Structure 1
C-alpha cells in the first residue's frame, strides 16, 4: 500500500510514505533518511539519517523496521533490518536486482523484486522459499497482517496478469489462482483477518472482494464510471469499511457487507436484493436482453461515504482510524489530513485538521495543525 516512485504533487525530498499494519503509525522515507510518527496523538517517535531511503516498512508498532537506502550509484538492492529501540542493525541482505517492496507480518517477511519473491522466517531471517513471478515493476504484493491466516497475494504471470495468486506462507504452497478482472491487476488489499482480498484492475472502475482461501467472489463495488489509476486500497481494522484512493480527487469509502458462511443461491439472491433492490431488479428485468458488460454496471454497490482531496492527481493513502471516527489521508506532499466520518449515515466527510508531517526546509518536521479551508 506504500506510495513509492514518481508522483504528481510530491514534495521534493519525499521518496515513500506509508502507514503500519494497524494505522497507528506513519513511516516516511526522504532524501536524508526516514522517520516514524504516531498518529494518535500525533508525534514523532523515531528518525534517522541514512541517506535516500526509498522503502520503509514497519512491523506494527514494534521496534523492527525494514529500510532500503539508495546507494550513490543508484542501486536499491540492499535491505537493512533495524531495531529502532536499540538503534542497531539486526541484519543486512543484498539481492540481485532492485527491491520493489518489503512486506511483513509477525511470522513472515517477503522481499519483492521485479521477477521474484523471497520469503523469510521473520524470527531468524532464514530464507524459506523463492518464488519466480512475472514482471512486477510496481512491487504488487500484499500480506495478511494476521499471522494465523498467513496468506500472500500477488499478480500472476504476464499472460494471466488479470489473475491473482493466493499463496499460503505457512505451508509455502499456492492455494488459489483467482481470475479477478479482465484487465491487468493494479492494486490488492487484505482485510486484517486475512479472510477477504480486495482487487482492482488498471481500469479502476470496479473493486472486487474475494473470499480467502476459496477465491469465491463475495461482492463488487463501483468506484466510478470513468477509468482511474488506483493508488491505494485499505480495510479498516474491523474489516467493515474499504477505503480507495485514485488519481481523481475523490476518496471512496465502501461498506463491506457482513460475510458469513456460503449460503444457498436463494439466500444469496435475497441478500443482494436487500443491498441494492433497485439496481438488482433492473438488472434481473433487462439482463436477458443486454450484454453481460452492460448488466454488470448495475450490480456493484456504490460508496456510502466519500471525501474530496485538494485536487485531482494527488497521490495519497486513506485509512479509517482504529480509535476515532475519522479518515486519515497521507499524501506525498507530506501532509496528513483528518476528515470526520459518520459511521452510520456516511455521506461526505469533512476536513477537520491538516498537519504538515514533512517540510522541505526542515527534515522530519511536524508543523502546527490547521483547520483552515484548503
Structure 2
C-alpha cells in the first residue's frame, strides 16, 4: 500500500510586490499569473488581469487608466528588462521600453513617470495618449548610490531618490530640474517619503532608530523622532492626509504613530522649534533673539515657504542632470467604499487570526508612556501625553541624546505573516557594506557594461517579500499591506480609549489573495 502523499500541483498564490497609487486609494500587486488591483480602504479586489506569466512589479495611476508593469518571478510575462505601460480601457500594451539592464520598480503621476534601477533613475514625461509616449520624452538620468530596494518617490512637483553617496538624498524640482542634495544619514538610506504637499520629507537610515524631518523647499533639517534604541529595518513611512501624524513600520512587526509638533496648532498660532541646516550647523537669523526663531507650521503655503520672508537656503544645488551621456533604448509600439467598523467607544474583541500576536488585556496599545498627561477638563479632547519617553530625565545636564528625543505617542503590532525566506549566506553583510561590488558599476544605467552581473530577483535583497506598506485612509484610520505568500491587508483606527487617551487598534484584516479575513 502506497501511503506517500501526492505532490500538490496547484501553484501557491504569491504577491511579489505592493504599490499604492499617488492618492493611496488603490494598491497594485504583481502575482505569479499577472497583476491585481485592490481598493485600499476595504481590501476588495477591483481588477484581476491574467497575463499567463508572473509580474514582479505593478503600479497604477490615480485614474486607474494606466498600469506600469515589470516582468519577473518564476515565469515572467515580460522580459525582466522591459517596462510596459498597460491600458485598462482597451486591455492593450500601447507602450514598452526595453532597457539594457533590469529595472527594480517604477513611479507614475499624471505628468511624469520614472524607472528605478539599482544605480540610477530615469525620468520621462507622460503623455495622456499612450501611443505618444516614446523614449525620446526622457527628461533626465540621475545616478544614485547602490539602491537595491528601488527607493524613489515621484510627486507632482518633486522627485526624491538616494544621492550618489551613502546617506545622501537627491531632490529634483520638476519645474526647474534643479537638484538639491541632503546629507541625511551616516548610514545608507533605508526609507523616505514626502507629505502630500511635498513640503516635508521624512528619512530613515539603515540603523532605523531615528526618523528625520526635512524641509524640501528650504533644504533644512527640522527635527527628528526616535523609533527606538535597537536597530531595525524600516519598512514604510507615511504621513496622514493633513500631515499632522506620521506612521512608521519596521521588522519589529510594530507600527508607530508620531504626532507632529504643529498638530495642536490652532489657526493663527505658531509652533516654535529650532530649524537646522542639513549639514548639522546652527543657522543664524537676522530677526533678533539669537539663532532661535518662531516659525509657523512647515505645511504653510505662504510666500517664502515655511519660514516666510527671506528663508535660509543651505541646500547644495548640483544642477541639472547631464545630457551628454546616453542610454540605449528600443521602443515598441472611485470613490472609496466606506468600511463599517465599530466606534472607538465600543467594546470589541480582536479578530481571530494566526496567533503570532495575541490579544492583550488592554484594548489600546501604546508606546511606553513616561511623561505627564494634560489635565484638560474638556471631555471631548483627549489629554495629550508627552512624547518624551523619559520625562524630566531629558532635562538633566549632560543627559544622553536618547533621553531627550521625541518618541511615538502610540504603537501597535501588525502581522508580518509566516514567510519562507531564501536568504543567501552573507547577503546581509554585503548589504551593510553598502554594496561594494556594485560601487564600481555606478554608471550601469548609462553604459550597461555590467548587465550580466544584474541578478533578477522578485524578492527584496534580504530574501523577504515587501511587508508593512502603509497608506492612510483619513486622519483617523490607515491600512498596512504586506506581500508574499502570506499576503495580508490590515486596517487600524486611531481613537480614544476608556482613559481618555489616544491610541491605535487593529479593526480588520484579510489575506487579500484568498479573500479571507475578518472585518
* TM-score normalised over the length of structure 2: 0.59
Q: How far 1:221 moved relative to its partner?
A: 0.9
2:305 counterpart of 1:153? no
1:349 shift after superposition: 2.0
Q: Deviations over 1:220-252 (max 9, x none)?
A: 111111000111111122222211111002111
Question: Residues 255 and 183 of structure 1: is their aligned pair in 2 closer, same or farther, counting only changes over 3 Å?
Answer: same
1:306–1:19 CA distance, 2 compared to 1 (3 A):
same
CA distance in 1 between partners of 2:190 and 2:518 (Å): 34
Q: Corresponding residue for 1:98?
A: 102
- Counterpart residue number, 1:298: 403
Say if 2:11 is the partner of 1:13: no
Find the structure with the greater CA-based Rg: 2
Of 274, 281, 286, the residue aligned with 2:397 is 286
Structure number with higher relative contact order (C-alpha < 8 Å, ≥ 6 residues apart): 2
Match of 2:509 in 1: 354
Question: Partners of 1:60 and 1:343 in 2: how far apart?
Answer: 33
- Paired residues in the alignment total 338
Between the aligned partners of 2:388 and 2:509, the Cα distance in structure 1 is 39
1:342 corresponds, among 492, 495, 506, to 495
- Higher share in strand: 1
Segment of structure 1 superposing worse, 195-204 or 124-133:
124-133
Match of 1:307 in 2: 412
The answer as to whether partners of 2:414 and 2:490 remain within 8 angstroms in 1 is no
Deviations 1:162-209 (A, max 9, x none): 1111111222221x2111112111111011111111100000000001
Q: 1:168 to 1:313 in 2, by over 3 A?
A: farther
- Mean CA deviation greater in 227-236 or 276-285: 276-285
Name the counterpart of 1:63: 65
The counterpart of 1:164, out of the listed 159, 164, 169, is: 169
Structure 1 residues 193-202 or 232-241, which shifts more? 232-241
Counterpart-to-counterpart distance in 2, 1:24 and 1:199: 23
Higher mean C-alpha deviation, range 35-44 or range 255-264 = 255-264
Alignment of 1:20-169 (within 5 A): 20-50=21-51, 51-70=53-72, 72=75, 75-123=79-127, 124-125=132-133, 126-144=137-155, 147=156, 150-157=157-164, 160-169=165-174
2:470 aligned to which of 318, 339, 343: 318
1:346 and 1:206 map into 2 onto residues whose CA distance is: 25
Conservation of the 8 A alpha-carbon contact between 2:70 and 2:105: no
**Which runs of no fewer than 5 residues in structure 1 stay unpaired?**
1-10, 360-365
1:316–1:128 distance in 2 versus 1, CA, 3 Å: same
User: 2:57, 2:105 within 8 Å by CA — same for their partners in 1?
Assistant: yes
**Residue 26 of structure 1 aligns to a residue in which SS?**
strand
Cα distance in 2, alignment partners of residues 226 and 313 from structure 1: 23
Kindly report the root-mean-square deviation, in angstroms, between the aligned alpha carbons of the 2 structures: 3.1
When structure 1 is superposed on structure 2, of 181-190 and 277-286 the one drifting more is: 277-286
Q: Distance in 2 between the 1:277 and 1:357 partners?
A: 38
TM-superposed CA distance for 1:280, in Å, is 9.0
Query: Unaligned stretches of 5+ in structure 2?
Result: 1-11, 264-269, 276-284, 298-383, 420-466
TM-score (norm 1): 0.81
Aligned in 2, Cα 1:201/1:346: closer, same or farther, shift over 3 Å?
farther
Q: Report the secondary structure of 2:397's partner residue.
A: helix
- 1:25·1:61 contact (CA, 8 Å) conserved in 2? no
- Structure 2 residue matching 1:258: 3-state secondary structure: coil
Alignment of 1:260-275 (within 5 A): 265-268=291-294
CA distance in 2, matches of 1:306, 1:192: 23
Distance in 1 of aligned mates of 2:245 and 2:54: 35
Is the CA contact (8 Å cut-off) linking 2:468 and 2:480 kept in structure 1? yes
Q: In 2 relative to 1, CA 47–270 (structure 1 residues): closer, same or farther, beyond 3 Å? A: closer
Aligned-partner Cα distance in 2 for 1:343–1:95: 52
